[in-house]
Amino acid sequence: MITIIISSVKEQLLNNVKKNIEATIGVPYEVISFDNSSGQRGLCELYNEGARLAKFDTLCYMHEDIELKTENWGQIVLEIFQKNQDLGLVGVAGSSYKSLAPSGWGTAPNVDNIYHINLIQSYKDKTIPSKLFYSNFRNEKLTPVACIDGVWFCTKKDYVMQFPFDEELLKGFHCYDLDFSLSIGQKFKVAVTYDVLMEHFSEGSLNESWLIETLKLHEKWKDHLPVNVADFTKKECRFLESAVFIKIFDKMNEYNFKTNSKLRLLTSNKLIRLLGFKQLLRLYFYLFLKASRN
């Protein structure tokens, strides 16, 4: 009753997670996996193909470097969708604010009621201990969010057919989760559940390819952003946007992006209305100050 779709880069990781799924899911299922060890195909392309091939209506996309800890998690997922008919997408980590400023799903400052997560994070550097990240401010079973992380998420086959992953824009391995969240969010609710726990054995990398894909994604969605599910005040939004802009400017400096490309991010009328003229000037000042030091 659940189709699991995985893009695999290591056979041993895939074998491990298949055994883990079999031991924990608790409902009939199938696994559709793609050997993508050479990185020849983007996740959006593979995820769309997986949906077309799926024989079950409920789809679960997951990384292969995870271990599910919750018994009968498949039944939990099916019940979540059954009880929430307006739900289109559910994950285990997400943010209730998606900035107009280019960012990932979770690169805003850690302010109250912005991050919602239940996940054990391990690291490639084994000297760093694993950590349980749990943030559930209102002690809810399900929290509406603007976007979710792609480590593990579930949706419906019909929804992927209606809002497919954008394989024309996103050719690689980044931003598929954010783009899909924003697409699904046009018609359905996006949410985080705290009833499914897993361990993720590696952390993401905000490298140059991530930055390039992120800038492309935000150009696509600039008229739709920001998405403010938590009803943050105008003052709070200004703080969040300013902090995220500084982060993206620093990341663009790291990879030697030209000043003109940074300036283009600050030229929308929506941004002026969102930040106010004084705060926008502060960002211009920060941008040129950093440029003068490089």
Give the number of other CB atoms < 10 A from CB of residue 222: 14
Closest C-alpha to 275, from 233, 220, 234, 230: 234
List Cα–Cα distances, 14 to 1, 6, 7, 64, in angstroms.
20, 8, 9, 6
Whether residue 147 contacts residue 177, with contact meaning beta carbons closer than 8 Å, is answered with yes
pLDDT tens column, 24-49: 999 999 999 999 999 899 999 999 99
Average pLDDT over residues 244-272: 90
Question: Is the pLDDT confidence value at 118 over 90?
Answer: yes
Average pLDDT, the chain: 94
Looking at residue 15, its pLDDT comes to: 98
Say how far apart CA 1 and CA 82 lie, in whole Å: 13
Separation between Cα atoms, residue 247 and residue 200, nearest integer Å? 25
Q: In this predicted model, what pLDDT tens digit does every residue of 83-95 receive, in sequence order?
A: 999 999 999 999 9
Phi-psi region of 94 (alpha: psi -120 to 50; beta: other; left: phi over 0): beta
For residue 263, give both structure tokens: 């300036």
Of the two residues 206 and 197, the one the predictor is more confident about is 197
Contact (CB, 8 A) for 46 and 9: no
pLDDT of residue 291: 72
DSSP bridge partners of 39: none
Cβ–Cβ < 8 Å for 63, 121: no
* Residue 294: band (very low, low, confident or very high) from pLDDT cuts 50, 70, 90: low
The rounded distance, in Å, linking the Cα atoms of 59 and 99 is: 28
The better pLDDT of the pair 262, 22 is held by 22
Q: Whole-angstrom Cα distance, residue 162 to residue 38?
A: 30
Q: Let me know if 125 is exposed, middle or buried by CB neighbors in 10 A (0-12, 13-18, 19+).
A: exposed
Predicted TM-score of the model (pTM): 0.95
Give, as one character, the DSSP assignment of residue 191: E
User: CA dihedral defined by 235, 94, 121, 213, rounded to 10 degrees?
Assistant: -90
Q: 1-15, 102-116, 226-240: which range is least confident on average?
A: 102-116
- Name the CATH superfamily, with its identifier, for domain 2-232: Spore Coat Polysaccharide Biosynthesis Protein SpsA; Chain A (3.90.550.10)
Distance (Å, whole) CA 8 – CA 15: 10
Choose the weakest-confidence range: 23-32, 167-176, 208-217, 256-265. Answer: 256-265
Query: Pseudo-torsion of CA 25, 26, 27, 28, nearest 10°?
Result: 70
User: Is residue 244 exposed (0-12), middle (13-18) or buried (19+ Cβ within 10 Å)?
Assistant: buried
- Of 85-99, 122-136, 189-203, the least confident: 122-136
